[in-house]
Structure 1
Amino acid sequence: MRHKFWMFRNVNDIPLRSKFLLIYVLSILLPVITINIFFYQRTSADIKIREQENLRKSIDRAAGELLGMIDESVALSRIIAADDSLYELLDRTYRSPVDYYNEYHAFLRDKLTRYMSANILEVRIYTKNDTIQTGSHYIVMNDKNNLPGLKQLKSTSGGILVVDYIEPSGFNAGRRISVIGKMDTYTSYANYAKYSKIDLEVSRIYSILNRESDSLQLRLVDSNNRTVVSSGEFGDSDLSQTIDDDSITKASGNSAYALEKSLGNLAYLKGWKLIGVADTRHLDHLLQEARNSILGLLAISIVVPSVLIYIILRSYHYRIRKLSRHMEKVRNERFDLIEIQEGRDEIGGLIRTFNIMIGKIHTLINDVYKLEIRQKDLELDQVRTELSMLQSQMNPHFLFNTLNALLVVSTKNGYTEVIEIIKSLSKLMRQLLSHSDNLIPLQEELQFTNLYLQIEKFRFGELFDYTFEVDPDAASLLIPRMSIQPLVENACKHGLQARKNGRQIKITASRNASELVIQVIDNGIGMDAGRLTELLRDIRSERPGNGEHVGLRNVYRRLELFYEGNAIFDLSSVPGKETIAGYRIPISRLQQKK
């Protein structure tokens, strides 16, 4: 045992001042610093993850809108390629320009304008049919008017391609991003090659990219890794500029963070992507703010508790030292009072108690201690005398002799009912005085209760009746002695006394898979919810409010004693109808008589 507590002995050898210092360093200073460092690291990581997620959402949002514009144009290209009436007019050889213009004004002029939208700048069809006159929507292909990206379109699969180029002249000259497609759906109209070209609204693309300029500088890059459109400016850019990591770093500085988002894996978008460059100075500013906040919190968390602990521990240490010195004087039989400001805390109470002890120690030793011992002896003798008198008054032998005398007199005079009730009372008293087991079979407890009910039946006559409903499987189970009869007695005393006739009590004992259920049901006056709550509180209280219902309280206490809270005491009542008292015991806590 001594080796078991060696560590505590070593702690007890440490001076009090050193203990306080260890408590401060190990319990306050180090945990506060560690927690704040951990909190800063987690906060910094969360800020970085949040900002990166926001940047990723920004580039995903812009890429989604761009892809929607391109998909709209691709769908339109396929609709045009499926228009057989358009094929028939474009594949026809016209004898004169007049014939063409007649068809143009009748059908072709408004054929493509209906496909225009906010995302589409222009829709054109290129053809090698030289009998058609070049106009706003229909272009005859030659050396002067050739389809941009025709070579790439011929070499790609799928017949659709996204290209970018510079339109040198025309009403909408400048940078163009177009969806070009072959028109070869109908082989019966294949006399002349035909191609559709749908120009996207570049200003709309600039608007999409500039919308995210607060967090990202975006660049739309084509399949040749060249910048097509970039945010922050509106105008022509150098399409020959190739994008790589070095160019991004030079353009944005050393504090740049780059993101890349592909526009899709379809053949006509292969190689097209969005590159976003974020300035990390905003992230650095957020991290600096978090660092300053945590440093300020760390300073407050250290300084304020340190000052408070110093003040509190100084008061504690000073008074403990004083008390320790005076205890050393007591060992040397010097009983001096501690003359300091005591305070109202536990140490102050200890000092006050010490001073009181010093003042009374001689009196306790010489006078009071011996006097109290004599007084306790006298009180104990008095209690023993009273107990002996009570035992002599309740001598069982005297009681049984009296009952036997009454039985002889009743027999001589032919008092049959009195004879039976005396016999029942004699059996009742004999079981009360002779039975010492704490647990008895349920059947014996019910027999004992039946003796009591026979006496009550004698008292009330025809006004009272009782019944038993007992599960045979439960008869041999062991329950606490005197755990049913007090419930019956309480029902007779408090429930049935006020009822003039038809008094009934039913005792039930049933066993199910999980518990034994005992119930005593009377048809007495019952009680309201307020009175029932008050009664339950009185039964379960350590100090009951009055002397009533002692039997219920004794049953509740015996159940608590034997089953350690696993048994449930039940009490319910309906005013003017009935009262049910009983208890439930888990089968796992019950024993069975062998």
Structure 2
Amino acid sequence: MFYSLKNRLIASFVVLLVLSFGTVSFLLFNESRSIVRSYIESSALEKMDEYGSYINMALNQIYDLSSLVYNSDVTKSWDIALSDPSLSSGEKMLSNIELSRFLTQTTNNYSGVSSVSIYRPEGLWISIGNQVVADKEFLEEPWYKDFMQNGNHWVSAHNDQVESRQSKPYQVVSLLLPIGTFEPSLYKSVMKVNVSVDFFLEPLKRIHLGDSGTIFLLDQNGLPILSQHEYASDPETIRNVEAVKTVRARQGVLYVPNDRGMNDIVVYKKLNQWLLVGIVSEQDLYAKLYTLRNSIILFTTLLLLCAILVATWLSHGITKPLSRLASAMRSVQKGDFAHAESRIPADQIVRNEVGYVTSTFRNMVEQLRHHIKTEFELKLLRQQAEYKALLLQINPHFLFNTLELMSSLSMQQRTGDTVKVIESLGKMMRFSLRISEDLVPLQEELTYLKHYVSILQIRFGERLDISTQEEGDMDSRQMVKFILQPLVENAVKYSFLHQTIAKVVIRIYSEPEQVRLIVEDNGPGIAEELIQRLYAESLSSQFDHILNTGSRQIGLRNVLARCQLYYGARFSFTIESPQDHGTRIELILPVQQMLTK
């Protein structure tokens, strides 16, 4: 697939764009998320510090006003007057009005306090604005009962009857304190200081956690102080607050897993009386980042499609002529010059380097084709015919000898050995029938030789001592086929002429520049005249006499002739044969690397 330059060019564009935009978007998203998170955390904590100071200021006002009313002589005189049964109702009413005026004046001095009221258990309550009301309904109010039963001084957002008498009633947060004693069971009067919920809520709304984050003002039990109804309806919020309550630190940030598979970012600050908790989910906080990421992905996809179209358009002017050129080269490699010329249009206008190379190659193919026809074609055909003839001469010669062996084994009723010979012969014949291949892997040639040696060992048994030594890389080298078997056959044959035990040593050395094949035997040796004749024949390049030789006299000459035909001057050999001391034949072949598919 990626052999095509066009495909590789498009793939490169795709990989570069995906990697670049993917890396940029990933880094941008993570860095932006980190920056947003850091900014939200620091900003929220800073705003919470400011709001905490605001709450402390409001609480100080409330406590100052409460202390002022609690310790006032007016309050004490009023409490004594209402407790004195000897005073008339008119005098008590005057005392009530005086207390109301005092409460009004005191409240006006504190901007954060909306009203102050004092309640008597007999059903009387006094507030600002000369409000003196005899009404026992407040005795059934939840805040009143909670204070009496549990002693809770703070009342969360609620509707107050004093505020309901105003033109625009609103919810308040209240502080309850007994008058005259701090023991609720012994009190005579209860002071209720009201602060508008908006007084706390308005500045709280100005603190933002993303677009949908919420900040809650809670009491020590984790219950909302203000009228934030969404708190009670969200179990995740309650779970996050519970997580904050378990932390000892006064302020900080927590990451609590939510039901959506992400985290809730919880920013908190513990005040003296209350608790500030800000909650925002990562999904809501990074919503715009996710949108930006999706936009980048969409933009990258569109850009990728455009890049593929541009790469296709650009590569068309490069890859199309190069593809034709590569196809033409493959045809030339196969010897099909006509097809090579047809793949490259003639009279092409040269516009760039690719066109120049294509045109030059076409001219070269034309000249090479003409040159081969006029100079080398006949010689090449003759050499190929001679080589094939020599190669075909080996197969019947070997087959004749092996069939004689099988006939002998059958007459000796050596069935097992006969089967082994047939199996080895079958494998050898399957290999030898591949006559269309001049070169074979060195390892296959050695395998072929091993099959032949196994036949020889069955034939001669202990009378044959044959060994093979291999050194170097055998897997990646090639050689002309059927080289070793004829040499080994001759070595065994002539060794038995004068010896009862034939000893044959085969050595194969795979070296960086050459392959050396050595066959040694303990036969009678070769006459010096014959050795010189073999050297002379290899130089003359005349092989007709070998083809006309009887089938029982071929072997070494055939091997030398085929190597000379195929390798030419790159092939060399040596023959060492001292009289009656055996023969050593060494063939030196140039290296032929196997082509990887």
TM-score (norm 2): 0.38
Q: Which structure is larger by alpha-carbon Rg, 1 or 2?
A: 2
Taking structure 1 as the reference length, the TM-score comes to: 0.38
